[in-house]
Amino acid sequence: MANIMNRSIQHLSLVAFTGALALIPSITNAQGPVFGVKGGVTLSNLYSGDVDDKNGRIGFNLGVLGRTDPEQPIGLQLELLYTTKGETFTYDGFFIDQEFKLNLNYVDLPVMVSLRAGEALEFQGGLYAGLLLGSNLTSSGDLGTSSDVLDKDNFNALDYGLVGGVAFNAGALQVGARYNYGLSKLASSDGAEAILGDAKNAYAQLYVAFGFGQ
C-alpha cells in the first residue's frame, strides 16, 4: 500500500538493515541471544479498511524475549512486551489548532516462527495477543494542554493480530524491524464505536535486544 504507515515501515527496515551491516565483522560465529531484554520505537495508528491513516503516534516497546536453539534453521521466538499504541490527530479550523493523542498501553505476547537464513539473518512471522492496561487522551495547542484518563470499558480488553518482520543477529545482540496488523476491533461501547467505528490497531516497531546466554 502506498501510504504513510507502509513508508514508515520501510524506513524502519532500512535502519535495521544499516545497523546490521555495521555488525558484520562480529557475526561470523555468533547466533544472537537465546534469552534477553529488548526495547525500541513503536509507530502506531488506527485503521479501518486499508491502513492509510497518516496520523502516526511515536511510542516505545520494552520487554523480554526467548528463542529456541539459534543454530536450527526453523525455531520459535516468544516475547513479553509493554507496548504503547494509539494515534495522533489534529483539529485545525476556526482559528484553532489543537493536537490530540489517543494513548493505549498494552502488555503484548508475540509468538513467532523464525526461518533462519544463515548465521545472521532470520525472517519472523506469527501471531500476537495484547491485554489493555490503560488509556488516556492528551491534547496541546491553542486551547492549552490537558490529559484525561479514559474508561477502559470503552475499549476491548483483548487485542490480537498478525506479526511479521526481519531480524539480524550478532553475538548477544539482535536488531529487528516488524509490522503488527491488528484484527480486533478497538471500541466496545456505543459511545466509543460512534467515534472510532470498527478501527483496529496497526503498528510498526524497530528494536534492539541484548542476550543473557548463548
Tens digit of pLDDT for each residue in 10-52? 555 455 445 444 544 444 455 788 999 999 999 999 998 766 5
User: 2 pLDDT band (50/70/90 cuts)?
Assistant: very low
Q: Which neighbouring-strand residues pair with 187?
A: 155
Mean pLDDT over 42-71 rounds to: 86
130-164: b (≥16 Cβ within 10 Å) or e = bebeebeeebeeeeeeeeeeeeeebbbeebbbebe
Q: What does the CA dihedral 137, 101, 139, 60 come to, rounded to 10 degrees? A: 100
User: 64 pLDDT band (50/70/90 cuts)?
Assistant: very high
pLDDT at 144: 76
In whole angstroms, give the CA distance from residue 109 to residue 44.
Answer: 17
- The residues, any chain, with a CB within 8 Å of residue 66's CB and separated by 6 or more, are 34, 35, 77, 78, 79
In whole angstroms, give the CA distance from residue 174 to residue 188.
Answer: 37
Three-class DSSP category at 31: coil
47-66: b (≥16 Cβ within 10 Å) or e = beeebebebbbebebebebe
pLDDT at 122: 95
Three-class DSSP category at 68: coil
In whole angstroms, give the CA distance from residue 77 to residue 69.
Answer: 10
* Other beta carbons less than 10 A from residue 200's beta carbon: 22
Q: Distances from the Cα of 67 to the Cαs of 7, 89, 178, 212, in angstroms?
A: 29, 38, 17, 11
**Burial classification of residue 28, based on how many CB atoms lie within 10 Å of its CB (0-12 exposed, 13-18 middle, 19 or more buried):** exposed
Q: What is the pTM of this model?
A: 0.82
User: 168 pLDDT band (50/70/90 cuts)?
Assistant: very high
| Segment among 11-20, 109-118, 143-152 with least mean pLDDT | 11-20
Query: Which has the closest alpha carbon to 100: 82, 92, 88?
Result: 88
Mean pLDDT over 86-100 rounds to: 81
pLDDT at 48: 85
